[in-house]
Chains A and B, each alone.
Chain A
Amino acid sequence: MPQLRFVNVTKRFGKVLALDRISLDVNDGEYLCILGPTGSGKTTLLKLMAGLLTPDEGTIQSNDRRVNEVGVQDRNAVYVPQHYALFPHLTVLQNVAFGPLARGKPASLALEIASETLDLVRLSSRAQALPKELSGGMQQRVALARGLASGAKLLLLDEPLSAIDARLRLDLRHKIRDIVKQSGLTAVHVTHDQEEAMSVGDEIMILKNGRIQDFGPPQRVYRKPAGIFVAHLFGGASFFEGIVEHTVGETALIGVRGLTIQAPSRMLTLTSTVILGLRKERVRISADQPRGMDNVFRGEIRSVRFLGNSREYLVRLSNGDTIASRNFVENEAAFKVGDEVSISFRESDVMVFEYPAQGLLKELEVG
């Protein structure tokens, strides 16, 4: 049973359309990540879920009950804002006990729940501290504990890790997921970090300009993105504009400014303009002609970026287009700027998209 369901939900702020006919299900126990650039409507969506905003059109259901008009305090959904909003005048323990107290639990019981929850996030030793005395990571855990202790079934996390150091962030995102799963909660986690979304979400939703661009398990969204924008935001790719010249069975031959690229045909009409996308790690680079590859081109290295375990190259093809390639350091010889190399990739790795109505550049704009 979906714990939360949006049916054609629209939200406007004055003339600005913040969310446009959003429909989605969040199932019980699921960890959903919402990914999108700034201004895509992520926080608005989260606030609608929390009951902090009411939709202009459409229905929000919780456990099959319409909740459009239900106030924040009765939604049973805890909203954890970006900087946690720990109450600065209360101790850690009082912060965590706030939810049970507000819901009318007797003080002794509330404190008991609070200390148990603090145990869960391993902060019992700091129960009497004030929030400002804690590190960012600890504050994050207190915010989580406060949400858990309130007895809410739905946890709404607004960029929960944005205020935390890069190293700690990696650690903490898995901790959050573990605690959520352990407590049997449902979580919606908003982020603009695609790696974060990929590594913690059971499902991923990609939002742009108030519309859902793609929604599914991370592997599927990565392998078969629903559109150019999704491919660009979620993983990144090199894009080329081309024209369908031939289709032979499953294969299409696509002309890209003088080069011909083999791609999966997928019901392409002849002479139509399409966009091809290639993930960097699917593009191989080598000194001589590789065998058994569907697409092989020659090119010249324009730039090299060393990323520790891998190198990223930008290679200019003979038609003047540039393609990116990422290679693990141990697998490949290092090339220098100016080297002549072979670029190769498989037909099945080429992503084919319809030509966007507003052109490629417009489609790739983030934010």
Chain B
Amino acid sequence: MLIVIIPAVAGIVAQLFSLPTLALGAAVLTRMESAVSWSFIIGLTVSSLDLLAGVPLAWLIVRRRGNWATVLDSLADIPFVVPTVALGFSILEFWSSPDGIAQLFGSNSLVPPGVILIMLLHFAFSFPVIVRVMVGEFLNYRETYEVAARTLGASTFTAVRTVTLPILRTGLLAAFLLALARSLSETGATIVVAGAFENGTVFISNARNAGQTSAVVLASLILILSSLVVFGVIKVVAPRIRVAPLRVWPDFERKLSKSSVVTVRNIASVAIFMAFVLFPCLFIALPAIMAVASGTATEAIAGAGPWKAFWSSMLLSYVIAVLATVVNIVSGLPMAILIARNRFGTGITKIVDALVDLPIIVPSLALGVSLSFFWKNMGSLPEFWVIVLAHTTITYSYFVRTMTASIQEVQPELEDAAKTLGAQPLRVFRKITLPLTKYALLSGAILVFTRSVDETGATSAVSKTLKTAPILLVSWIKGTVSVTSPERALGVGFLVATSFLALVVLRLIAIRQPSRKVG
């Protein structure tokens, strides 16, 4: 906890005091102000749109149990599997390149890089978050509430609007906040599609490249504080909104419940998913395959030209991901147990609980800025380990959250029963708690691993000479390192392929882990 959370905040505060002057030019200040505001405008807009589009799709997946609903369910996860940098590249190619969707419309570029493209990108990568959370919510939801409402005379639409959604409002809120957090935080892919436009993270990254340290510090601080305020307000205020007095428009809502209307809605939500999420995400495959066909692949495997750096970056990325995962398990597991079992007492547990969420809420680039200052001030920790620790911080919440939820589901009675049978605490943990939460442990680890491979924001802030694969790819795509376009496509393709492969391997490990051995 100390190593993971404190540096995130301490670094930036310390730096604030140590800066000789915070005086910035008026032009820079205006740029910064507009960039940070845009971050929030984009985040709030995109998350709302995601909610509107994602909830009907999640509904469809849960309620239409059938083969194609299962297929849809798996398809909705694809943007999770594709690292965001690759996603950014894919979306750039799809919407903006002459080889993309523009072909169909006979133009050069349908959506040029800029704010709209950022929104399209954020929409695509936040979408699966919403769908995932809401599918879980709908699955846990007791349908009897809705059934009860319908036998009392409510149409399906009325029942869902007045009963189901209000009951699930905490889930909706959580989904919205996660989407918002991802949007505020995303750096690498956003830089790829931003063009000349700046939001908060792009601004920080530009300022850093330009060596404007005070601008970096100030913008990071503002981004951190304003995220905290926005999240705090939403979290505190939203649950207190009393459900407005019941109003029902029976005839109108009955029309909305008609099967023809429902069919149109289903088709629309699938179409939106296909057009704005799935196809843009998968578009990367096309140029990558063409690159393989053109013979770039042989050069790549031979490690010629830019590929030498590429392969060492890939290696670095995966080594860091493994280490970050290990550090997370070692440091996060005890924390999860302490939170789940309320060992600090109610008050402190609540605070600790909120602190754990910090790395999710705070934009990762700003977090990275803070971390880099912290570790710089703390002395000479090698850059490699700073990156590992930064990744641990960024992914800490995902792991602890997953584990806490899972441990809370293990009834304390089970542990008590084991104790009365004479088992020592460690043995109880090893033989009872751990096996029962094994699946969560593995899925938590998978989350950490994939997020780490994916990470660009914090990494770009703490790295000086070392380049992880996504960072390298950003520079390839932005043209700061000169590579040919088949090389670029293939590089992105390799990252997607390896992370997909890693995920499959991890899943296989998760499935075949028989822990039947007693002893």
Contact = CB atoms under 8 A, between A and B. Distances in A.
A94 B152 CA distance: 13
Interface string A144-167: 001100111000100000000000
B166 interface: yes
Nearest to B254: A73
Contact of B250 (A77, A97, A104, A107): A104
B140 to A, nearest CB: 14
A101 B243 CA distance: 15
Contacts of B150: 52, 72-73
Contact of A50 (B151, B155, B250): B151
B203 to A, nearest CB: 41
B141 to A, nearest CB: 11
B1 interface: no
Contacts of A101: 246-248
Contacts of A103: 153, 250
B167 A89 contact: yes
B166 A75 contact: no
A150 B144 contact: no
Interface string B142-159: 101101111111110010
Contacts of B149: 87, 98, 102
B63 to A, nearest CB: 14
Question: When A and B form their complex, which 4 residue pairs have the shortest distance between CB atoms, in order from nearest?
Answer: A102-B154, A99-B152, A85-B148, A104-B250
Given A87-B145, A90-B246, A98 B151 contact: no
Contacts of B243: 89-90
A158 to B, nearest CB: 9
A72 B153 CA distance: 7
B163 interface: yes
B147 A52 contact: yes
9 contacts: A51-B151, A74-B153, A78-B152, A85-B148, A88-B167, A90-B246, A98-B149, A98-B154, A151-B153
Nearest to A146: B152
Contact of B155 (A52, A73, A81): A73
Given A102-B154, A150-B153, 6 more contacts: A72-B151, A85-B142, A85-B144, A89-B243, A98-B162, A104-B250
Interface string B331-343: 0000000000000
B151 A102 contact: no
B251 interface: yes
A114 to B, nearest CB: 11
A340 B375 CA distance: 92
A282 interface: no
Interface in B401-448: none
Interface in B219-256: 243, 245-248, 250-251, 254
B142 to A, nearest CB: 7
Contacts of B248: 101-102, 104
Contact of B145 (A85, A97, A102, A151): A85
B154 A81 contact: no
A139 to B, nearest CB: 12
A70 to B, nearest CB: 12
Contact of A52 (B151, B162, B247): B151
A131 to B, nearest CB: 11
Contacts of B167: 87-89
B386 to A, nearest CB: 47
Nearest to B167: A89
A99 B161 CA distance: 15
A298 to B, nearest CB: 50
Contacts of A79: 147-148, 151
A52 B142 CA distance: 15
A15 to B, nearest CB: 17
A120 to B, nearest CB: 17
A83 B250 contact: no
Interface string B243-279: 1011110110010000000000000000000000000
A78 B151 CA distance: 5
Contacts of B155: 73, 102
B256 to A, nearest CB: 13
Interface in B478-502: none
Interface of A: 50-52, 72-75, 77-81, 83-85, 87-90, 94, 97-99, 101-104, 107, 146-147, 150-152, 156
B236 to A, nearest CB: 18
A88 B169 CA distance: 12
Interface in B350-367: none
Given A81-B144, A85-B142, A89-B167, A107 B151 contact: no
A151 B152 CA distance: 9
Contacts of A50: 151
B366 to A, nearest CB: 36
B147 A97 contact: no
A54 to B, nearest CB: 14
Given A98-B246, A101-B246, A150 B152 contact: yes
A99 B250 CA distance: 11
A132 to B, nearest CB: 12
B364 to A, nearest CB: 35
A18 to B, nearest CB: 17
A88 B247 CA distance: 17
Contacts of A80: 148
A97 B248 CA distance: 11
A205 to B, nearest CB: 21
B192 to A, nearest CB: 43
Contacts of A104: 248, 250-251
A73 B144 CA distance: 14
A198 to B, nearest CB: 27
Contacts of A152: 151-153
B144 to A, nearest CB: 4
Nearest to B146: A85
B152 to A, nearest CB: 4
Contacts of A81: 144, 147-148
Contacts of B144: 81, 83, 85
Contact of B152 (A84, A89, A98): A98
Given A73-B153, A73-B154, A89-B166, A107 B245 contact: yes
B268 to A, nearest CB: 23
A74 B158 CA distance: 14
B246 A107 contact: yes
Contacts of B162: 98, 102
B247 A107 contact: yes
A87 B165 CA distance: 11
The interface centre, meaning the residue of B150, B250, B254 with most chain A CB atoms within 10 A of its CB, is: B150
A253 B154 CA distance: 63
Nearest to A101: B248
The interface centre, meaning the residue of B147, B148, B158, B245 with most chain A CB atoms within 10 A of its CB, is: B148
Contacts of B163: 87
B166 A102 contact: no
A88 B246 CA distance: 14
Nearest to A104: B250
Contacts of A74: 153
Nearest to A80: B148
B237 to A, nearest CB: 17
A119 to B, nearest CB: 19
Nearest to B253: A102
A288 to B, nearest CB: 54
A109 to B, nearest CB: 13
A92 to B, nearest CB: 13
Contacts of B147: 52, 72, 79, 81, 85
Contacts of B152: 78, 98-99, 102, 146-147, 150, 152
